[in-house]
Chain A
Amino acid sequence: MSDSGRFEAFVRTHQDMVYATALRLLANPAEAEDVAQAVFLKAFEQFDQLSASDSAAGWLKTVTRHACLNHLSRYRRRWRFFSELVSHNDDDVLEAIPADVSIGDQFERAEEHERLARAIRALPEHQRVPLVLFHFEELSYQEIATALRVSVAKVKTDIHRARLSLKRYLSASHA
């Protein structure tokens, strides 16, 4: 197989994971696609080592996470401002998401997943990012606080609020 063919196969193998990671953190499909493209271009530069490595997926995930956090840090000031501005009504954030009516039993589970994914995407950025880093990326509170340059207490508060919002949303969707 040629180098191009090998790289294409490499992208095909990992594109869902890279895109999903970026989408969870950024909650914006267009931005997630941009970041995923940048990550694969970086992977291409080091493809000789990556293609022979067993930890290529881990490398891609870490690079994607860093790229997303860099992307978000461009808006960090605005993010912090809104984080303080909307902190009093964060609890109502998911009430705006319409509860879809299931179109059939066979799709119920997939639909439930889609609704949870949408609920996570609908969380405000200062709640979604630490929640995703904790549950999907399996970082500790301290690691998240360091990555986001905020206090551990703020990380815990934001994750707790995000969980409460999701819990209310999940309870409502199960009812």
Chain B
Amino acid sequence: MPDADLERLLARAIAELPDAPAPDTLLPRVLAAVDARRQRPWYAQPWSTWPPLHQACVVTACLLLLVAATTFAMPVLLARVSSDIAATSVGPIAAMVDAARAASRVISTVTTLAATIAALWRALCGPLVVYASVVLLLLGASLGALGTGLHHLAYRRVYS
């Protein structure tokens, strides 16, 4: 049967399917979950259900915090951090930077080497592995057959 006919047949059969009735337990479960949600304090409920006044208060508080942080706290913090860096950069930080640079060079060399080996393997060795395996298997099988033949011949001569 062509797929279009099959699709029509199936669509008709499926269209006649009634919805499976929900189990009797679904409604009580939903109502219990809704009740449990109603029992929660307003701040533990989803943001969209908060009273509009509370939503407005929180938005205003967040904006005020943001403005205060960018106006007052950030310059002080930046000044503090830059002075700390200036005070300590000669000793331990400089040593850490040097160690990080050395580690980065080692990692870069290892990565390049691994990529080169992988590329060489893919280009040269990879395709040959299958052929080499087949040749080795054939060689092994023929040697085995030869050995078995010789063995039989030798035994025949010994016992005859």
Contact = CB atoms under 8 A, between A and B. Distances in A.
A116 B19 CA distance: 12
Interface residues of A, number: 34
A153 to B, nearest CB: 14
B80 interface: no
Interface residue SS majority, chain A: helix
Interface string B137-157: 000000000000000000000
Contacts of A33: 22-23, 25-26, 29
Interface string A67-96: 000000000000000000000000000000
Contacts of A117: 17, 20
Contact of A164 (B6, B16, B23): B6
B31 A167 contact: no
B13 A8 contact: no
Among B1, B9, B11, B30, max chain A CB count under 10 A is at B30
B19 A7 contact: no
Interface in B1-47: 1, 3, 6-7, 9-11, 13-14, 16-23, 25-27, 29-31, 33-34, 37, 46
Contact of B10 (A12, A46, A113, A167): A167
B31 A11 contact: yes
A136 interface: yes
Interface in A111-167: 113, 116-117, 120, 135-136, 160, 163-164, 166-167
Interface residues of B, number: 29
Contacts, number: 84
B30 A19 contact: no
Nearest to A17: B19
A19 B17 contact: no
Interface of A: 4, 7-8, 11-12, 15-20, 23-24, 29, 33, 36-37, 40-41, 44-46, 113, 116-117, 120, 135-136, 160, 163-164, 166-167, 170
Given A36-B30, A166-B10, 6 more contacts: A11-B26, A15-B22, A15-B30, A16-B19, A33-B25, A164-B6
